Structure 1
Amino acid sequence: MSQLTATPESALVDVPVHIRATGLPPSQLVTLTASLKDEKGSLFQSRAFFRTDGNGELDLTRAPALGGDYLGVHPMGLFWSLKPDKMFRRLMKRDVINTPFEITLELYESGFTQIPETPTASIKVKRWYSAPGVQRTQIRKGRIRGAFFLPPGEGPFPGIIDLFGGIGGLVEFRASLLASHGFAVLALAYFNFEDLPTQLLEIDLEYFEEAANFLLAHPKVQGPGIGVVGVSKGAEITLAMASFLKQVEAAVCINGPTIASEPSPYRYKELVVPASNLNYERVEFNSIGAMVYRNVILNPLNEHNQSCVIPLEKAQGQLLFIVGESDGCVNSKKFAEESLDRLRLHGKSNGRMLAYPGAGHLIEPPWSPMCYASWSPGFPFPLFWGGEPEAHAAAQEHAWAEVQKFLRQHLTGTKSKL
Structure 2
Amino acid sequence: MPFKGLGWVGRFALALALGGSSVVARAADVRTTEVETGGLSATLYVPADGAKHPALLVLGGAEGGRDWARGVARKLAEEGFVALAQSYFNGPGLPKALANVPIERFQRAIDYLQALPSVERGHLGVVGLSKGAEAALALAAREPRLRVVVAASPSDVVWQGIDRTGGAPASSWSFRGVPLAYVPFQPCAQCRGLLDLYRHSYPQAVAADRVEGKGIAAPVLLISSEQDQVWPSTAMARVLAARLRREGAAVVSVIDYPTGGHFAFGLSPTAASAKEDTGFGGGTPDGLAAARKDSWKRVLEFLRAHD
Report TM bin, short chain. Answer: 0.7 to 0.9
What code does the residue aligned with 1:220 have?
Answer: S
Task: Look up the match of 1:124.
Answer: none
Q: How much has 1:170 moved relative to structure 2?
A: 2.4
Aligned-residue RMSD, C-alpha: 2.8
Q: Which has the higher strand share?
A: 1
1:88-237 alignment, distance < 5 Å? 132-171=28-67, 172-237=70-135
| Alpha-carbon distance in structure 1 between the residues aligned to 2:232 and 2:117 | 40
CA–CA separation in structure 2 for the residues paired with 1:398 and 1:217: 33
Give secondary structure in 1 for the equivalent of 2:159.
Answer: coil
Q: 1:387: Cα distance to partner?
A: 1.0
| 1:239 paired to 2:141 | no
Q: Please state how far the C-alpha of 1:398 moved relative to its aligned partner.
A: 0.5
Give SS of 1:253's match: strand
Give the whole-Å Cα distance in 2 for the aligned partners of 1:365 and 1:280: 35
> In structure 2, what is the equivalent of residue 365 of structure 1?
267
Residue type at the aligned position of 1:318 = P
Q: Which amino acid aligns with 2:44?
A: F
Unaligned runs of 5+ in 2: 8-23, 162-170
1:368 deviates by 4.1
Partner of 2:168: none
Question: When you count helix as a share of all residues, which structure comes out higher?
Answer: 2
How far 1:141 sits from its partner (Å)?
A: 2.3
Distance 1:280 1:153, change over 3 A: farther
Question: By how many angstroms is 1:308 displaced?
Answer: 2.8
**Alignment correspondent of 1:76:** none
Corresponding position of 2:184: 277
The residue matched to 1:211 in structure 2 has which SS? helix
By how many angstroms is 1:179 displaced?
Answer: 0.8
Judge conservation of contact 1:168–1:192 (CA < 8 Å) in 2. Answer: yes
Contact in 2 for aligned 1:134/1:149 (Cα 8 Å): yes
| 256, 259, 262: which one aligns with 2:160 | 262
Which of the pair has more CA radius of gyration? 1
One of 192, 212, 218 as aligned partner of 1:317: 218
Residue of structure 2 equivalent to 1:127: none
Deviation digits for residues 125-175 of structure 1 (CA, Å, limit 9, x no counterpart): xxxxx9603111110221001110111212211101111111101221111
Q: CA deviation at 1:306?
A: 3.7
Q: Which residue number corresponds to residue 54 of structure 1?
A: none
Give the match for residue 353 of structure 1: 254
Deviation of 1:265 (Å): 4.0
Of structures 1 and 2, the one with the larger relative CO (CA 8 A, separation 6+) is 2
Tell me: CA distance 1:271–1:284, structure 2 relative to 1, closer, same or farther (3 Å).
closer
Q: Could you tell me whether the CA contact under 8 Å between 1:300 and 1:308 is conserved in 2?
A: no
Supply the distance in 2 between the matched residues of 1:194 and 1:283 (Cα, whole angstroms).
37
Identity of matched residues, % = 26
TM-score, reference length from structure 1: 0.61
- 1:170·1:189 contact (CA, 8 Å) conserved in 2? yes
Q: Distance in 1 between matches of 2:281 and 2:138?
A: 23
What SS does structure 2 have at the residue aligned with 1:136? strand
